Chains A and B, each alone.
Chain A
Amino acid sequence: MIQIRNLSMRLSSGGREVPILDGISLEVPAKQFLAIVGPSGSGKSTLLGLMAGLDTPTSGSILLDDVELTALSEDDLARLRRQKIGYVFQSFHLIPTMTALENVSVPLELAGDPEAEVKATRVLRAVGLEPRAHHYPVQLSGGEQQRVAVARAFANQPALLLADEPTGNLDSATGQQVIDLLIRLNRDQGSTLVLVTHDPALASHADRVVTLCDGRIVSDESQVGGPRVQP
């Protein structure tokens, strides 16, 4: 599904080039649940963002279903995202002027789906928030906001789901709910899931755990037995 070759990302900060990612090569087969772990500043969120084409790497290549992301224009990347990628941010990033339902509808509407609202309602029901459909983000709790964000990510039934520390801003009980939701929806839809986290307990659910440190992959382990879902 994803083939990353020799990916590097440098940012200039105060006139100096700071390496964020340094020669990353990684292959993620379809339907795999991959957890990327590592200390903060290790470059894991940047790597995830680059997989979604949310930024352009300094060098290297990212193939998504054999399409070279670095060769696509801004708008082609946007179209690709709405067709194939769902993204969950650590700090939710819901649009404050839209209700929960509208936030979930956005990717469907952008894709020109005539049944956007019906489908969005269905996804919202799946995350258990149908009763809150017409509330604005400020009227929702953090956990509820993140569940709306998860619903938004799943709305288009994307083949690839990317989640960047989805529980980082939530207390542990709420975080657990969101994680269960992610894993359940991912399994129901049979999609590929890449999860960035620094929580080993969370990573233990994954098929495979890749550890980053200072922009390099320091370990890549497959976990026997597959994901274990909490009851």
Chain B
Amino acid sequence: MNSFPFRMAWRETRAAWRHFAYFFVCIMLGVAALVGVGLFGASLDRAIQREARSLMAADVELRTSRPLTPEGEAILKSFEAQGIARMQVSELVAMAAVPSEGESDRRRGTQLVELKAVEPGYPFYGKLRAEPADALGKVLGGGPDSFALVQEALLIRLDLAVGDTLKIGQAEFTIAGVLRKEPDRAAGAFSLGPRVLISRKGLDATALIQPGSRVTNRHLLKVPDTMDARAIQDALAQTFPDKTVRVSTYQESQPMLRRFLRQMTMYLGLVGLITLMVGGIGVASSVRAFLKEKLETIAVLKAVGAESGTILRVYLVQTMLLGLLGSLAGAALGAGLQVALPPLMAQWLPVELEFHLALPPLALGLAMGLLTTALFALWPLLEVRRLKPNLVFRRDVSEEPAGSPGRAAWLISGMLALALAGLALLQAGSWRSAGLFIGALVLALGLLQGTAWLVVRLVRRLPRWRSLAWRQGSANLYRPGNPTKSILVSVGVGVMVILAIHLIERNLLWEIGETLPADAPSFFFIDIQPDQHDAFARLLRERGYADTRLTPLVRSRLWSLNGEPIRPEAYEEREHGWYFTREYVLTFQKDLPRGNVVTKGQWWDRSVPARGPLISVEEEAARRLGLDIGSMVEFDIQGAKVSGRVASVRKVDWGNLSTNFYFIFEPGALEGAPMTYVATTQVAAAEEVPLQRAVVAAFPNVSAINIRDVLDSVARVVDRISLVIRFMAGLSILGGAFVLAGALAATRFRRIYEAMILKAVGATRGAVAGTFAVEYALLGAAAGIIGSALATLLAWGVLRWILDVKWHFPPESIAWGIGATILGTLTVGFLSTVSILGQKPLPVLRRE
């Protein structure tokens, strides 16, 4: 191939570096976002693979909330004979208390904790970090004293220090040290309280484990190298066909966390993709601005005999080389993001990430950078072919070349778009999310483009402003050749993403915290044993809580529906399959609970004789499970089967935070089933501590859950997640800012010229700045309004269709969004044009 295009491309780039600096940065940011997230995901996968055993602390785990059956015990025993080591880890929530040292003790006294009891040898894999380092040895040591390891948060909340005493249930523990990291728990995941780690013997001494107690028992197995963990898993699965036991190998450790991290990475990747699209808009407007300045060169080239194809190749080579360079720089920057992303996500990362340059994300990022460059530069470039030299020399070339770009342009851009969509699919991980994303993006870009067009038309139609600054500023928006639309679209996209994230977060937090009715309970007391029922009710009554309700709870799973047994494996992959496989907490009750409305059937209508007990089922569950009036539902309650007939369907207001149930039996139906009680009550803030103390003193096994603490904890998790996504979205805003700066740079000569005319006829720098300010503020306002409108639409859609949360419109967020956009465009605008103001008119005006 002739080297002319390459030589010419280099000359042209050298001469117009200003345009290409923005081009370069736009592509670089987009690729950096994609590569950054991709590399992060890859090193996360690697780390999780590498440390899969530590994440479980074992090779195989058997997880159940019940004691092992004799057959279960037997098979584990037989494994031990084959050299498979085993231990039991129990996890439950409990109350920790500071042993009272008289009424004057200022310490808060009690705290809900996540208790974990381990056996010697824990963990089989991975490292538990504690301070001092030998603290775990003390906890597991066989001495007469009981020791505990606690998270620092507990020490802070209870004002304790290492060496102090802690009371849990019936037993007292000396705090041996501070727990820094457990291999099998992500520190920042949602929790009800700080971790307290004790020994199994210590747990026995607390006497907390009683029938119906909520405890998760994990039987950890360490399989010798010579044996296959998968085979052990299969053998166990056959012994426990029961769905109350889950057997998994280390390859499936921490499924929730993995899914969470995978989804998080996917969302971040999609946000990265948006940044790249914004970058693409920057590419298009840079190329267009560059070619506009090149009209004369192109005309000369044509006049001296260059064919359109040759000229096109010159600029295509130039564009693609720059796209490649930008993508390479982006990949390098993305690798640099590895320093920023892990600390942001550290809370959820149970593993140490190593810096590692995985090839696939790098290649994917480069490919997407090049494709985006090609797609967005193609149209402006193709206009070269239609340029008539004579028109340029006669200086009456119209702004838009006449005629259509031709079928080839459509064909090529269609193919490029398809290729890009294919790569986006690779990024999104599933057809569904890729399709949704691409659809939403195309829709959003279309809407933005359409609205931008409308805004320009509208400003043109407005009556002329009387003020000079307003008149000139607004006229700049619709003058031919001004990149108003590119600016509106690219800044609007950024505003849309970041504001939508904010709106979703706001609504989630609002749903969590602010929708609480005034009479919502503020305390839940759980694990009240049947024999404690009367004494507990009396204690609360004596302390003045007459409104307390004790509700019986029976834990169960679905066994069969209309005689059809439930096979959990059939629902594992299915959407909403958890309706079939989850644990259901049942209750029995005479009266319809508050906030419940019967939508079908009758509440305990005994006038019609029926076989078996009656059940009332929640509307959504009924729909998902395919239940209707008269359907038979059979539950497995710790081995015993209880069935009933659906007598009514209820609508439940889940937002009231009372004890709500999917299934309610009629009174008497669950007699004899193992049950505990839960009490809910409203407690004034000043009463919280004394009440909690009194309850823990009298009923050490009862846990008090403060709703406000739980909501705060959920809100913190939501906040962290949104922080990470906002960080990525910040890159797309940055991209928008560069598109804006690039577009302003492209119109720099015109701006200087007009500013100097204004100065020549007597405008001060302030007056000139005023016309710019109006233009930038109008741009910002338009982009802010369009972006906010789309953000509202997007957030509404996500909340309505995906998160199933009621929509609440926060006008102040929108106002902030628009205000910040105006401020942002003003800032970027002034940074790019402030140097114009001080110029002297004469040299500029004489040059013309």
Query: What residues of B have a CB within 8 angstroms of the CB of A52 in the complex?
Result: 760
Pick the contact of B842 from A46, A82, A83, A110 — CB < 8 Å? A46
Show the binding face of B for A, using Cβ within 8 Å. 464, 467-468, 471-472, 475-476, 479, 754, 757-767, 838, 840-843, 845-846, 848
Inter-subunit contact A82/B762 (CB<8 Å): yes
For A75, the chain B residues whose CB sits under 8 A away are 764-766
Give the chain A neighbours of B754 by CB distance below 8 A: 95-97
A74 touching B468, Cβ below 8 Å:
no
Identify whether the interface residues of B are mostly helix, strand, loop, or mixed: helix
A102 interface hit (Cβ, 8 Å): yes
Q: How close is A53's CB to chain B, nearest CB, in angstroms?
A: 9
- The distance in angstroms between the C-alpha atoms of A75 and B842, with both chains bound, is 15
Residues of B near A93 (CB, < 8 A) are: 757, 760, 845, 848
Q: Could you jot down 10 A-B contacts, CB within 8 Å?
A: A54-B840, A54-B845, A55-B840, A87-B761, A93-B845, A97-B475, A98-B471, A102-B464, A102-B471, A106-B761
Instruction: Choose among A83, A95, A110 the residue that contacts B767 (Cβ–Cβ < 8 A).
Output: A110
Tell me if A110 and B468 are in contact (CB < 8 A).
yes
Q: Within the complex, what minimum Cβ distance (angstroms) separates A194 from chain B? A: 15
Distance from B339 Cβ to chain A, minimum over Cβ atoms (Å): 45
* Contact status A49-B475, CB under 8 Å: no
Contact A109:B468 (CB < 8 A) given known A54-B760, A78-B762: yes
Q: Give min CB distance, B750 to chain A, whole Å.
A: 9
By beta carbon, the residue of chain A nearest B471 is A102
Residues of chain A touching chain B, judged by Cβ–Cβ distance below 8 Å, are 45-46, 49-50, 52, 54-56, 74-75, 78-79, 81-83, 85, 87, 89, 91, 93-98, 102, 105-107, 109-111, 152, 156
Contact (Cβ within 8 A) A82 B761 = yes
The 9 closest A-B pairs by CB, nearest first: A82-B762, A55-B842, A49-B842, A54-B842, A97-B475, A75-B764, A81-B762, A54-B841, A109-B468
New A-B contacts (7) at CB < 8 Å, excluding given A82-B763, A110-B758: A46-B842, A49-B846, A55-B843, A75-B766, A79-B762, A98-B472, A109-B467
| Contact status of A98 and B842, CB under 8 A, knowing A78-B763, A81-B762, A93-B760 | no
Contact status B762-A110, CB under 8 Å: yes
Specify which chain A residues have a CB less than 8 angstroms from the CB of B762 in the assembled complex.
78-79, 81-83, 85, 107, 110-111, 156
Residue of B with least CB distance to A134:
B464
Is the CB–CB distance between B760 and A81 below 8 Å?
yes
Quick check: B840 and A95 within 8 Å, CB to CB? no
Q: Which residues of A lie under 8 Å from residue B476 when comparing CB positions?
A: 97
Query: Pick the contact of B764 from A45, A54, A79, A95 — CB < 8 Å?
Result: A79
Q: A54-B842, A56-B840, A75-B766 are in contact. Are A107 and B848 (CB under 8 A)?
A: no
Residues of A within 8 A of B838 (CB): 74
Shortest C-beta distance, A89 to chain B (Å), equals 6
B842 near A152 with CB under 8 A, answer no
- The docked-state distance in angstroms from the alpha carbon of A52 to that of B759 is 11
Alpha-carbon distance A110/B471, docked complex (angstroms): 13
In the complex the two chains form, what is the Cα distance from A55 to B468 in whole Å? 24
Q: Nearest Cβ distance between residue B764 and chain A, in whole angstroms?
A: 4
Residue of A nearest to B764 (CB): A75
Q: Is the CB of B842 within 8 A of A95?
A: no
- A133, B816: Cα distance in complex, Å: 42
Which residues of chain B have C-beta atoms less than 8 A from A96's C-beta? 479, 754
Q: How far is the CB of B469 from chain A (nearest CB, A)?
A: 9
